[in-house]
Amino acid sequence: MTNDNRTRLDQVLLGDGLRVAPLGLGAMGMSAYYGASDEAESIATLRHAVDVGVNFIDTAEAYGPFENEKLIGRALGARRDKVVLATKASAETDDDGTIHGRNGTPEYIRKAAHRSLKHLGTDHIDLYYLHRVDPNVPIEESVGAMAELVAEGKVRHIGLSEASASTIRRAHAVHPLAAVQSEFSLFARDVLHNDELATMRELGIGLVAFSPLGRGVLTDSVTSLDDLDADDARRTLPRFQPEAFAANRRLVERAAAVARRHGATLAQVALAWVIAEGVVPIPGMRRRSRVDENAGALGVVLSEAERAELADALPAGEVVGTRDYVEVGAGQDR
C-alpha cells in the first residue's frame, strides 16, 4: 500500500462524458442523521478533501433539509471550480423545511434545482439526481424537466437514485444519464444480482455507491453500538439492532485477514473492493482523518482471489436485518 495516494486520484468516467475522482465524499452526515456534528471541522474536512483530490462531493436538498447544501456552499468558496458537485431533488419540501411526499413533477424539479443553486452558491450543478422516483409521475416527464435544466446550462449532467432497470432504460432514452446512485457494498450487492448494473453498463452509465461502508459497520470505528451518539438515526435501523449488529460484526471480522495482509484498515479494504468492481464510492466523511484514511483505499490493490475471498466472507444471505428502506421494484416503473 502506498502512503501517497494523490497519484491514484486520476479521474474515472461515469457516463455522458462526466469524469470524477474514483472516490467521492458523501456529505449528508455533516448535517443530518448521524448525531452531533462540528461545523468548523466539517468545513475543514470539505476543503481538505478537495485539496487532496477527493473532489466529487455529494449532497441533497433533503439533508437538513437544505442545511447540507448551505454548508457546502460556505465551505467551497474559491474551490468551487475544482469540484464535481452533485445534489438531488428529493421529497417535496417547502422553503420552511416542511417535508411532504415524493414529487417528481417538472414544476417541482425546476423549483428544487433553482433553490439548490442558491443554497450551494453556484451557477450550475455538475450532477443533478432525481433522489427517488415518483411513482405517480412518468419518469419521462421528470427526466424531461432535468433535460431542460441541462439545456439552460443550470445542470451539466443528470442521474437517478435507487431506480429499477426498466426505469433507468426509459429515463436514458429521454436524456443520457451520467450516473445512477444506489447502495452498494460488501453488505449490499443487490445491483450485482438483478438487471440494474447490467443495464447501466450496457448503456454506459456509471454506478455511484452510497453507504459503501455499510453505514460504518465495515470499519474499525463502529465496533459497538456504544460508538454511536444517542440521537444517531442508525440506532433505529434493522441492521443496528443489538443482535443483528453483533452478528454482522462477526461477518466483518472475516475480512480482517485481508486487511492485515495489506497493512490496511477494514474501511480501506471495503472501499478497495467497491472500486475494483468499477464503482465510485461516496463514503460519508465528517473529519479530515477520515478523508486521509479512505483515500488510502486507492493504494490497496486486491487480487481477483482476494476480491472473491471478501465476497465469500460476507455472503448476502448471512447479513442480518433488512435495509432501512427498499426503493426499487414493483410499482416504481411508470
Please give the torsion angle defined by the CA atoms of residues 299, 303, 306 and 312, in that order, rounded to the nearest 10 degrees: 120
- Mean pLDDT, residues 173-179 taken together: 98
**Residue 13 φ/ψ, nearest 5 degrees:** -90, 130
In-domain check, residue 321: no
In-domain check, residue 332: no
Coil, helix or strand at residue 179: strand
pLDDT at 91: 83
pLDDT at 324: 64
Q: What percent of the chain has pLDDT over 90?
A: 84
Is the per-residue pLDDT at 329 higher than 60?
no
pLDDT at 37: 86
Q: Which residue of the set 63, 108, 128, 129 is catalytic?
A: 63
Helix (H) or strand (E) holding 203: helix 195-203
CATH of the domain at 119: 3.20.20.100
- Mean pLDDT, residues 22-41 taken together: 93
In-domain check, residue 81: yes
Residue 258 C-alpha cell reads as 485481508
Residue 70 C-alpha cell reads as 448551505
pLDDT at 7: 40
Provide the phi-psi class of 230: left if phi over 0, else alpha when psi is between -120 and 50, else beta. Answer: alpha
Banded pLDDT at 10 (limits 50, 70, 90) = confident
Containing structural domain, residue 294: 6-314
Q: Are 197 and 189 in contact (CB under 8 A)?
A: no
Using the Cα atoms of residue 260, residue 262, residue 266 and residue 270 in order, give the sign of their dihedral: negative
Interatomic CA distance for residues 76 and 53, integer angstroms = 14
pLDDT tens readout for residues 97-143 = 888 889 999 999 999 999 999 999 999 999 999 999 999 999 999 99
63 classed as catalytic: yes
pLDDT tens readout for residues 200-251 = 999 999 999 999 999 999 999 999 999 999 999 999 999 999 999 999 999 9
- Lowest-pLDDT choice from 31-45, 145-159, 198-212: 31-45
Interatomic CA distance for residues 197 and 191, integer angstroms = 5
In-domain check, residue 319: no
Number of domain units in the chain? 1
pLDDT at 36: 84
In-domain check, residue 208: yes
In-domain check, residue 323: no
Could you tell me which residues come within 8 angstroms of residue 277 by beta carbon, excluding any fewer than 6 positions away? 184, 192
- Mean pLDDT, residues 161-167 taken together: 96
Banded pLDDT at 6 (limits 50, 70, 90) = very low
Residue-averaged pLDDT of the chain = 92
- Mean pLDDT, residues 72-91 taken together: 95
